[in-house]
Amino acid sequence: MIKKIQKSLEIDNLLKIYFPHYRRTNDPFENIAIYKDKEIKGIVVYSIIYERSEINYILVMKNYRHQNIGTQLLEFAIDEIKKNKCQNISLEVNTDNLTAVNFYLKNNFEIKAVRQNYYGSKDAYLMVKELR
């Protein structure tokens, strides 16, 4: 039920609703996977840039949270990233977003730094998961 897809207007619009800072790019390093049965329940956007990788966005629709969908999407992205022999995965997350911070901690990401004013007036944690 998780599959890689091309970027589309539908995905852009879903991401825009949840991430006010979301900007559409034509970044060739960016990958998208969705969790879908009758409808799209979750989306992960991740970049693989040679030996570096990033989780750009992960989103589970409100009605489907706490059903392990976020974890499955993250594991899908991690498997893809590992195939590309990346050394680690990094991401930025709003320090106020405790749900997401806890979600990443549970999935063995570590807080490495605070990026001041990363989201306008809001700070972000730089979180990293080592892969070897």
Ligand X SMILES: CC(C)(COP(=O)(O)OP(=O)(O)OC[C@H]1O[C@@H](n2cnc3c(N)ncnc32)[C@H](O)[C@@H]1OP(=O)(O)O)[C@@H](O)C(=O)NCCC(=O)NCCS
Which residue is nearest to ligand X, using beta carbons? 70
From the CB of 21, what's the least distance to ligand X, in Å? 10
Q: Which residues of 14-41 are buried (b: 16+ CB within 10 A; e: fewer)?
A: bbeeeeeebeeeeeeebbbbbbeeeebb
Q: Which is nearer to ligand X, 5 or 100 (CB)?
A: 100
95 binds ligand X, rule: CB under 6 A? no
Q: Which is nearer to ligand X, 85 or 110 (CB)?
A: 110
Closest CA relative to residue 2, chosen from 50, 73, 52, 55: 73
**Inter-helix orientation angle 69-83/98-106, to 10°:** 50
Q: Hey, which residues between 31 and 90 contact ligand X (CB under 6 A)?
A: 57-60, 65-71
Which positions lie near ligand X, rule CB under 6 A?
Answer: 18, 57-60, 65-71, 93, 97, 99-100, 102-103, 106
